[in-house]
Amino acid sequence: MKYEHNNISPLDSRYANKILDTRDCFSEYTLIKERFNIEIDWLIYLCSNKNFPKISKKSIKKLYEFKSSFSDKEVLKIKRIENKTNHDVKAVEYFIKDYCLKDRTLSKYVNLIHFGLTSEDINSLAYAVIIKNGINIHLQKILFLNKKIKNYSKKWKNIPFLSRTHGQAASPSTLGKEMKVFSSRIDREISLLKSITPLAKFSGATGNYHTFNLVDNKVNWPVFNKRFINSFGVIQNQFTTQIEPHDWISETAQAITRVNNILIDLSQDMWIYISNEIFALKVNVDEVGSSTMPHKVNPIDFENAEGNFGISNSMNEFFVNKLTKSRMQRDLSDSTVLRNIGLSFGYSQLAISSISKGLDKVKPNKEVILNELNNNWEVLTEAVQTIMRYEGIDNAYEQLKSLSRGNKLNKESYLKFVSDLPISDKSKEKLLKLTPSKYIGLANKL
């Protein structure tokens, strides 16, 4: 893909090839095209109302051909009009009007282009379509990554390793179970993201259908306009000011943030596991880990993911706090903000791509894992004191605390302590068979 090297955003240069579908979805081209499509479809739909002039099938065919011929050439023409009008939606209206005026039949309908609407009606529906498509693209990326996490969860379900709570040795788990924690968290957020309902308005200047009602007060305009909005797979928000209040966009940003945060958590954990040699990184002979230290194989994919998720989150936080507020019936500050909504998706997807790549590079370092377990027999003191309490020894915790807190136990000292315990032979046998690598509870089943 060709791209300019003077773009200000790395999403349009260095990382462009990694998010092609999202860049297409949220591009200026797509926004203009959606406005263009909506304006033409509204003209056709409006004339299906018996109170408006009927458009012939031949004329409708011409309008559909006009729609299907939309390209970069049309965008440039619309942008030239916008340079004069300083109004993006009006520029689309004038562009369509110019086309219709060149046709003897279509010229009769130019007065009905953008009829009864404010620019926010066009924009709210255009953004609803774009963001809806963006959510679907984003969901596919998340689902692909989560499938990979689930596969690792199954693959590693029987590999025990030493857990860390507060950074200190704790009851062992399995690598697979810890991956399962992340996949199940993501599953929940996927369901919530799927449940988001895109909303739009088509009710005029301050949301009260003034012009529609003035023309014909016998038409149920909310229902008529609702059918039009629904044809785009979008739900009508009937109660609005001049703008659709963007609460659903805020919900989208918050849902993306929650997924981002779960994956930041995974990225940071993987970084620490790699640092502690629980995972080894597969070597790519063509990559350079450091410009000065040839030996280094860095966890750069997890670091890149963390950084880009953070950028996405920062933007989402602003979207949530900004877009749901508008002075009185409208101010224009949301307009410039909405133009950046695709960046949040873009940085999040760039991070998803990085973390997916990072997971492909890791493999459990079983020798290190086993050595770490065998060097931390003190984690079995939880098991011992639980059995002691079960058998009625009331100071079990205190005895184990005295034995192990701040001290290292080895296999011999553990076995001696258990052998001397005043507990039943059955319980003693359980504890004597126990090792750190076997003390995993139900982790592998979970």
Catalytic annotation, residues: 166, 290
Report the candidate in 145, 117, 82 with the shortest Cα–Cα distance to residue 212: 117
Cα dihedral 420, 423, 428, 434 sign: negative
Contact criterion met (CB below 8 Å) for 338 and 127? yes
The most distant pair of C-alpha atoms in the chain lies apart, rounded to whole Å, by 104
Residue given tokens 């025990």 in the structure block: 160
Partner residues linked to 362 by β-bridges: 281
- Burial letters for 344-356: b for 16+ Cβ neighbours within 10 Å, e otherwise? bbbbbbbbbbbbb
Partner residues linked to 199 by β-bridges: 235
Contact criterion met (CB below 8 Å) for 333 and 341? no
Contacts 24+ apart (CB under 8 A), 7-12: 9/343, 11/343, 11/346, 11/347, 11/350
Distances (CA, A) of 223 to 40, 102, 202, 217: 20, 34, 11, 13
Report the candidate in 323, 139, 348 with the shortest Cα–Cα distance to residue 261: 348
3-state SS track over 49-80: CCCCCCCCHHHHHHHHHHHHCCCHHHHHHHHH
